[in-house]
Amino acid sequence: MVRATEPDRREISERLTVQALLSAIAATTLPTDAQRVFHGRGGLHPGCEHLALDFYSPVWVLTSFQPLADEDLRRIHAALTERWGQLAPDQALNWVVQCRAEGKTETKLMAGSVPAPHVVTENGSRFLVHVLKGQNHGLFLDMAEGRRWVREHVGTRERLKVLNLFAYTCAFSVVARQAGASQVVNLDMSHGALAIGQQNHQLNGIASGAGFLAHDIFTTWGKISRSGPYDLIIVDPPSYQKGSFVATKDYARLMRRLPDLLQPGGYALLCLNAPELNLAFLKDNMAELAPSLASVERLTNPPEFADVDPERALKVLVYRAPDCGFAVR
């Protein structure tokens, strides 16, 4: 009897790890919108936590949080080639790999090309993306349920005023205006991200009703307050961004402001994508710092982002201000 050596076991384990991704590719259908296809980060595929595969039509984007062996890339390429030939036999395969490791991000076009401009869709909305530059691509796919909630919430009410904090490329603003919000104030430190946000509004035929402020939120409370109060406040900060936001200390500063910024009966949508911070981080801080706001629900994440531990997954909570008389606009 021949026993497997330790290197043999590692090789078998690596093949099985990649096999989970290959199986997902073989089973995928052609997405109609931009979406996650394989979510190794959710921990449901042990040993594959470093991998994620997204489809930003017509481009597949593989993200790895550790270096990938050439053999792995060859097998992934073969799997994508075979499946794409079945799904879209008259179209060339386009795919990109992004490796985030050792403090660096490297992105490489592996096959085909990337459209310029590159426009994707989600539930009828159109968004610009940029899969060949930067870590983020212009549209956070895991926030799809948050955008759906905003669309439905705004669509059942009249002439809402919305504050979109950490607006990035303003996807929340687009769906809010499409749903009938009368005004959206978008605030983000990045001029470049807000410029793309303005283009996203133009792409969707939204010519007015949205403002874009490239400011540090924590030094702009006066301007934010003067534009309020708001019927809906969306808070979707990075968990950590050097020099601008650290969730463990800065989220509390936002929470304290919410009661004074909301209309009576207004809503707040609080988002947190930090695996190291559990649900209690948000709930306990809100209970202490904004006790007048009532917890309504936690939104379910898109099924493509299933996670072995809900405490580590994206957390999106809805809060509501109390009704107390008539609000003055």
Delimit the domains of the chain by residue range: 20-129, 141-320
For the chain, the residue count is: 329
Query: What CATH code is assigned to 20-129?
Result: 3.30.750
Tell me, yes or no, if the pTM score tops 0.75: yes
Is residue 186 classed exposed, middle or buried when 0-12, 13-18 and 19+ CB atoms within 10 A define those classes?
A: buried
What is the fold of 141-320? Rossmann fold (3.40.50)
Q: Do domains 20-129 and 141-320 have the same CATH topology?
A: no
Select from 197, 286, 275 the least CA-distant residue to 239: 275
- pLDDT per position in the chain (329 positions), as tens? 434 444 444 444 444 568 899 999 999 999 999 999 999 999 999 889 999 999 999 999 999 999 999 999 999 999 999 999 999 999 999 999 999 988 899 999 999 999 999 999 999 999 999 999 988 999 999 999 999 999 999 999 999 999 999 999 999 999 999 999 999 999 999 999 999 999 999 999 998 999 999 999 999 999 999 999 999 999 999 876 666 688 889 999 999 999 999 999 999 999 999 999 999 999 999 999 999 999 999 999 999 999 999 999 999 999 999 997 444 33
Q: What residue type is 9 in one-letter code?
A: R
Using CA atoms, how far apart are residues 280 and 293, in angstroms rounded to an integer?
Answer: 16
